[in-house]
Amino acid sequence: MTDDLSATDQYVLTHTMLRIKEPARALKFYCEVLGFRLVTQLDFAEARFSLYFLQPRGHGDCADGTVYQSFSRAGLLELTHNWGSEEDDTEMHSGNSEPKGFGHICIAVPDIAAACARFDAMGVRFQKRLGEGGMREIAFILDPDGYWIEVVQPSLMEGLVGKNRV
């Protein structure tokens, strides 16, 4: 193994993919509840699946919808829909029950109490409400497919982490 990390200087984490069952339901949730915008939809008819690339509205310049931007721009969320899964008994696995694996994505908000009140008013399902459990300063909501979304207010996180950092 080499110690020269300069070869990775231009590596970019572009997106995280979540498999979804019903595109309309998932897009409504991510766009209306969390404020994402759909920037690219790619349909692969022969393989019978679609990719939906979403960008948080507060992420500066919007991706332009091109395939290049969809696979090179940092911070996108990719929702993948395998056609026909909405009509069968396919269930998505959040990774938080056995067998454990993937855990969650995280959304930072400026005022977590206000965000949680808004989510509550919109009928969003909570996995863990603000003020509950050991980490009382964070909340977890669930998307329509049961994926966990951590909700944090960055200004509150410093007290949780303290001096235990690199």
Task: Give the pLDDT confidence score for residue 162 in this predicted structure.
Answer: 59
Q: What distance in Å separates the CA atoms of residue 148 and residue 17, rounded to the nearest whole number?
A: 13
Task: Give the pLDDT confidence score for residue 72 in this predicted structure.
Answer: 76
Task: Give the pLDDT confidence score for residue 160 in this predicted structure.
Answer: 67
Task: Give the pLDDT confidence score for residue 34 in this predicted structure.
Answer: 96
Task: Give the pLDDT confidence score for residue 163 in this predicted structure.
Answer: 53
Task: Give the pLDDT confidence score for residue 18 in this predicted structure.
Answer: 96
Contact of 141 with 134, CB cutoff 8 Å: no
The 10 Å Cβ neighbour count of residue 65 is 14
pLDDT digits (tens, 9 = 90+) for 84-129: 998 888 888 888 999 889 999 999 999 999 999 999 999 999 999 9
What is the CATH number that goes with domain 103-166?
3.10.180.10
Task: Give the pLDDT confidence score for residue 161 in this predicted structure.
Answer: 63
- Do 13-86 and 103-166 agree at the fold level? yes
Cis bond before residue 99 (omega within 30° of 0): yes
Q: What is the pTM of this model?
A: 0.86
Tell me which residues of the chain have a pLDDT lower than 50: none
Residue that is written with structure tokens 């919109």 in the block: 122
* Positive or negative torsion for Cα 114, 117, 122, 123: positive
Task: Give catalytic residues, as residue numbers.
Answer: 150
Q: How many residues does the chain have?
A: 166
* CATH superfamily, with its number, for domain 13-86: 2,3-Dihydroxybiphenyl 1,2-Dioxygenase, domain 1 (3.10.180.10)
Q: Where are the domains of the chain?
A: 13-86, 103-166
